[in-house]
Amino acid sequence: MEPIRKAALVKATIVEIGRAGSLDVTVSQIAKRAGMSSALAHHYFGAKEDMFLAAMRHILSLYGAEVRGALAAAGEGPEARLHAIVRASFSPGNFRREAVGAWLNFYVLAQTVPEARRLLAVYQRRLRSNLLACLRPLVAGRAETVAASLGALIDGVYLREALKEGQPDSAAAVAAVVDFVAAELGKTQTK
């Protein structure tokens, strides 16, 4: 039972954060959505914060899996692999209300909860390392710098696309980042 209940709670936590748009969700709401009493939620997770952290781990692992899958499906060319990472980062699923809510609130959580900050750092390192592998063959010496900027650009574009009025547009987000890469590769042509 334990793993089933925990998984249900994690999913419900993410949904509720998405609905509320904040971490201001009660354990009862989460438990109810997961089909159990609040007491049971407390039984499996000690405290509410533990639920948040588990939810964060889940979101990050989903994203990680998405990127891994995209890379596996992509061919061998560095450009193609780079493109795959970017597309995975901006997949429509990542712009669903729950996902946006989760990410934004995890940023907030990372300010004060060390474990949340650590998890975020892990995500950023993984993204960076994936980007580096693609970039080294393309820009050699400047790979480190470009990877750092590219990572930040992905976060920034995501933020803007997620918060703009109107529906987010995955394709536009991808295009913006691809354009940056093109510039870094020295081709001014947007293609």
Summarize as ranges the residues that interact with a copy of itself (CB under 8 A).
20-24, 100-101, 104-105, 107-108, 110-112, 117, 120-121, 124, 142, 145, 148-149, 151-157, 159-160, 163-165, 176-177, 179-180, 183-184, 186, 188, 190
| 20 part of the interface to DNA, by CB under 7 A | no
Backbone angles phi, psi at 34, to 5 degrees: -85, 0
Binding partner of 108, given a copy of itself, DNA, none, CB within 5-8 angstroms per partner class: a copy of itself
Residue 106 near residue 116 (C-beta atoms within 8 A): yes
In angstroms, what is the minimal distance from the CB of 40 to DNA?
A: 4
103 vs 7: CA distance, rounded Å? 19
- Between CA 87 and CA 178 the distance in angstroms is 10
Contact criterion met (CB below 8 Å) for 100 and 191 = no
The yes or no reply on residue 47 touching DNA (CB under 7 A) is: yes
Binding of DNA by 28 (CB under 7 A): yes
- When CB distances are held under 5 to 8 angstroms depending on the partner's kind, the choice from DNA, a copy of itself, none that residue 26 binds is DNA
CA–CA distance, 32 with 98 (Å, rounded to integer): 17
Contact flags string 49-88 toward DNA, x per CB under 7 A: x---------------------------------------
Nearer to a copy of itself by C-beta: 1 or 140? 140
3 state SS of 80: helix
Closest distance of CB 46 from a copy of itself, Å: 20
Q: For residue 167, give the H/E element and its range.
A: none
* DSSP at 4: H
Q: List CB contacts of 144: < 8 A, sequence separation 6 or more.
A: 132
140 belongs to the binding site for DNA (CB under 7 A): no
Give contact residues for DNA (rule: CB under 7 A). 1-2, 5, 25-28, 36-40, 42-43, 46-49
